[in-house]
């Protein structure tokens, strides 16, 4: 089977490390993506975003000047943004939970931890295509819903009852 028509996608890859950029670009090209734009820092990413209006952004976090998180916030909330809904996959060496939370709170759709693997890149692309999240607008936040999954999507066993059963009560403690 032929799979997705990745040749129809425009992808922006932002990383200040040229080697990492080259690697991600090579993977995307092998998937069939033709229109790939590159940026080496947050400022150039913002300019390219507005010029090229990509369908997906793969964005490094740690960059000189505008960080990846700054760019995400601009994409989601700036009046100059070409598309506040553009899926953003954050590619980063930060893997601690507080960093994941910070990325999520800025409006990132998916988190791709380094080291990079072919399967992980494909998995995040498929996720933004097949499982888009609803968007949330509050006074303080605009971006994808920060809850990982809707309740209706969960198809596993009911765990809460089990967890509650396992919780020690005051009387038992």
Nearer to other proteins, 82 or 158 (CB): 82
Nearer to other proteins, 30 or 162 (CB): 30
Nearer to other proteins, 35 or 78 (CB): 35
Of 99, 148, 96, 93, nearest to 116 (Cα)? Answer: 93
- In 3-state terms, what secondary structure has residue 10? strand
Smallest distance, other proteins to C-beta of residue 94, A: 8
Query: Which residues in the 69-98 window bind other proteins by CB under 8 A?
Result: 85, 87, 92-93
Query: Which residues in the 27-66 window bind other proteins by CB under 8 A?
Result: 27, 29-32, 55-56, 62, 64
Residue 26 binds to other proteins (criterion: CB under 8 A): yes
Determine which residue in the list 79, 119, 151, 156 makes contact with other proteins, applying CB under 8 A.
119
User: What is d(CA 9, CA 160) in angstroms, rounded to the nearest whole number?
Assistant: 41
Token duo for residue 145 = 């819903």
- Contacts of residues 30-34 at CB distance under 8 Å and 24 or more positions apart, as own/partner, are 30/118, 31/6, 31/121, 31/122, 31/125, 32/4, 32/5, 32/6, 32/7, 33/6, 33/7, 33/9, 34/7
Q: Report the interface residues with other proteins, using CB under 8 A.
A: 1-6, 8-9, 16-17, 19-20, 22-23, 26-27, 29-32, 55-56, 62, 64, 85, 87, 92-93, 114-119, 121-122, 126, 128-130, 132, 134-141, 145
């Amino acid at each position: 089977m032929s799979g997705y028509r990745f040749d129809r996608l425009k992808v922006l890859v932002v990383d200040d490390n040229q080697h990492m950029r080259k690697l991600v670009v090579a993977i995307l090209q092998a998937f069939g993506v033709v229109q790939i734009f590159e940026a080496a820092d947050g400022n150039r990413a913002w300019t390219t975003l507005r010029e090229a209006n990509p369908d997906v952004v793969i964005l490094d976090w740690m960059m000189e000047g505008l960080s990846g998180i700054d760019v995400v916030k601009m994409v989601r909330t700036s009046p100059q943004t070409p598309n506040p809904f553009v899926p953003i996959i954050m590619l980063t060496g930060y893997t601690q939970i507080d960093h994941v939370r910070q990325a999520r709170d800025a409006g990132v759709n998916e988190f791709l931890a380094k080291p990079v693997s072919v399967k992980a890149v494909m998995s995040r692309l498929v996720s933004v295509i097949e499982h888009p999240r609803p968007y949330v607008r509050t006074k303080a936040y605009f971006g994808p819903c920060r809850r990982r999954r809707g309740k209706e999507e969960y198809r596993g066993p009911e765990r809460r009852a089990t967890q509650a059963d396992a919780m020690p009560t005051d009387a038992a403690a």
